[in-house]
Structure 1
Amino acid sequence: MTSHDSPVLRVAGRPVGRYVTRPEPPVRLSPRPYLHPVTTLAGTAVTEAAPADHAHHLGVGVAVPDVEGHNFWGGRTFVRGRGPTELDNHGTQRHASFQLRDPDGFVEELRWVAAGKELLRERRTVAATGLTGTAWALDFTFSLTNVSAGPLTLGSPATNGRPGAAYGGFFWRARKEDSVPDVYTADREGEAEVHGSRADWIALAGAGWTLVFAGATEETRRDPWFVRATEYPGVGSSLASAQRLPVEPGATVVRRVVTVVADGRPDRGEAAALVGKAVSR
């Protein structure tokens, strides 16, 4: 094993995801490690990386559009009073090392660097677990520690003046298909109803596949869901929705999202049961 290897996640011996540790996209895409492709147990791809509609969307990972003014999301930066603006402010997430690496997961250390300075140090824990013959779960935890000399704040286009655009944090870019995927929770249906909610779980269902997302800690459950279906299929958990998130020197922000990856279309009861089983492990 070398630090340049790309781990492959397996469930019961089946490959279900590949982790890219050292991507080399253009700087304006904010290079960062990510999972792609991720598949169902039957082999259906449920992620996309660098799609034509948003070249800075990279599979499954962590991305924040505003860390004290530095862009770790990619693409343009939303500037209050100016809108989306091309700025030379892109940061990079650098893979440092694996503390643990097994066929079903890994623990990784990353460094978030911008303008030649390390701002955040991340510990990322990823695990793949089988649930049934047609479903498995991706357990994704990240801890961001402020290693800079002063306080930092994390923001989003929403906190910078763009309503409804509170993206930033865990983000899953799903595969775009000819038909718009269905979005639903235990008691809501449709992108407009689900986006911005704090539902216990939300499902994104395409042609022959379903993803069910759940916050697995109290802090994560307080974060609203960022949901897109019509423009493109993507789901994230918002770190900064109504206001910027402060991180004092030495302080750590921790979030954990568990995603059920299923073949077919589980009904609401089945989706809830799968999420419950995945989160309790």
Structure 2
Amino acid sequence: MTLRLADNDTALSIASGDVEILRYVYRPDNAQFESPRPYFEPLRDLAGNQVSLYRPHDHVWHKGIALSLPNAGPENFWGGRTFRRDLGYVDEKNDGAMVHREFTALDAADGAVTAVERLDWVTEDGRHFFSERRAFAVTVLSDDSWVLSFSTAFTNDTDDTVVMGSPTTEGRDNAGYGGFFWRGPRSFTDGRVYTTDGEGGDELMGVRGDWMAFRGKHDSTDAVSTLVFTDHPENPGAPVKWFVRSNPFAAVCPAPFFDTELPMAPGDTVTLRHAVAVCNGDTGIEGAAKAAELAAAELARLG
């Protein structure tokens, strides 16, 4: 199936037929407190149902799917206040930005859209912190599913060791969020979560596995969509621990620093690779496992 790519110098728009299935905003205009960074929003299934949420009032720094890291040493590339041991959430004026510099490759051919991007991470007080090479691809898998493959390699350009962590490594239980983070629509609240071991909800917070799926229902249409997230087996901490919520809102994040810190010495590079298959309807556990397998194959092609 042919995909169409458009670029307005702020965002990439990718469409299948009459449906814009994904928009990648690479020059966001968000406030510094929201840690401005590129994001995928909106995302839609091939039937046109939106499966993401932008800037919800409860967490205005949540934006569709975005690489978001709340505890990067002294800095915050997630947005909002930073959780610190014995202090709780504090406003440290440390909300950095991931700044787009250029696309080194951008192509729509052979039924796929691929992009390679160079970014700099800049602290709130204007210091260069990390450099990043990011790549992603969008491919249609079937008449009712498509996949976003995503790869990032970020390098510590400072003179200090930067410890990557999460609110949980700072002492807050079951708050190990940080990484390739998805926020689902309001109507997905109380949706079902699928894993290789069965299905459930919030009790699956922190489970390990190669993939996790979230099934939600849409208002107005009563339609159902399933998102199937995969984690690459060579990512730090694999098999990854998953941050997942179905209540009070829908969210999924393969969280490599859930409860284990990762020190990055000067010059060190961390590579993370993930994919998400967006499927019409309820895949069930068996269908989610198959979608995860196909998504993993697409991720392997991205490299």
TM-score by length of 2: 0.88
1:35 deviates by 0.7
The worse-fitting range, judged by mean Cα deviation, of 244-253 and 32-41 is 244-253
- Equivalent-residue separation in structure 2 for 1:144 and 1:77 (angstroms): 21
Which residues of structure 2 form unaligned runs of 5+? 1-5, 218-223, 299-303
User: Percent same amino acid among aligned pairs?
Assistant: 36
Aligned ranges for residues 24-39 of structure 1 at < 5 Å? 24-39=29-44
- Equivalent-residue separation in structure 2 for 1:71 and 1:85 (angstroms): 11
- Contact in 2 for aligned 1:184/1:194 (Cα 8 Å): no
- Contact in 1 for aligned 2:149/2:276 (Cα 8 Å): yes
Query: What is the count of residue pairs matched by the alignment?
Result: 281
1:159 alignment partner AA = T
2:106 alignment partner AA = R
Counterpart in 2 of 1:55? 60
Counterpart in 1 of 2:121? 112
Superimposed CA distance per residue, residues 147-180 of structure 1 (whole angstroms, 9 cap, x where no aligned partner) = 1122211121001110110111111111111752
1:210 deviates by 0.5
Aligned ranges for residues 1-20 of structure 1 at < 5 Å? 4-11=9-16, 14-20=19-25
Counterpart in 1 of 2:255? 238
Aligned ranges for residues 1-281 of structure 1 at < 5 Å? 4-11=9-16, 14-103=19-108, 104-114=113-123, 115-177=125-187, 179-207=189-217, 208-219=224-235, 221-281=238-298
- Contact in 1 for aligned 2:15/2:22 (Cα 8 Å): yes
* 2:153 match: secondary structure: strand
- Equivalent-residue separation in structure 1 for 2:260 and 2:234 (angstroms): 19
The worse-fitting range, judged by mean Cα deviation, of 220-229 and 125-134 is 220-229
User: What value does the CA root-mean-square deviation take over the aligned residues?
Assistant: 1.8
Which residues of structure 1 form unaligned runs of 5+? none
* 2:199 match: secondary structure: coil
- Equivalent-residue separation in structure 1 for 2:66 and 2:159 (angstroms): 26
1:87 deviates by 2.1
Superimposed CA distance per residue, residues 102-130 of structure 1 (whole angstroms, 9 cap, x where no aligned partner) = 24131111111113211111111111111
- Contact in 2 for aligned 1:127/1:138 (Cα 8 Å): yes
- Equivalent-residue separation in structure 1 for 2:9 and 2:28 (angstroms): 10
TM-score by length of 1: 0.94
- Contact in 2 for aligned 1:154/1:239 (Cα 8 Å): no
* 1:232 match: secondary structure: coil
When residues 65 and 260 of structure 1 are mapped into structure 2, their CA distance, relative to the original with a 3 A threshold, is: same
1:229 deviates by 1.0
When residues 130 and 12 of structure 1 are mapped into structure 2, their CA distance, relative to the original with a 3 A threshold, is: farther
The worse-fitting range, judged by mean Cα deviation, of 1-10 and 28-37 is 1-10
Superimposed CA distance per residue, residues 49-91 of structure 1 (whole angstroms, 9 cap, x where no aligned partner) = 1011211101111011111111111111112112112221111
- Equivalent-residue separation in structure 1 for 2:128 and 2:54 (angstroms): 26
- Equivalent-residue separation in structure 2 for 1:236 and 1:198 (angstroms): 12
The worse-fitting range, judged by mean Cα deviation, of 177-186 and 49-58 is 177-186
- Equivalent-residue separation in structure 2 for 1:143 and 1:112 (angstroms): 12
- Contact in 2 for aligned 1:10/1:128 (Cα 8 Å): no
The worse-fitting range, judged by mean Cα deviation, of 109-118 and 204-213 is 109-118
1:180 alignment partner AA = D
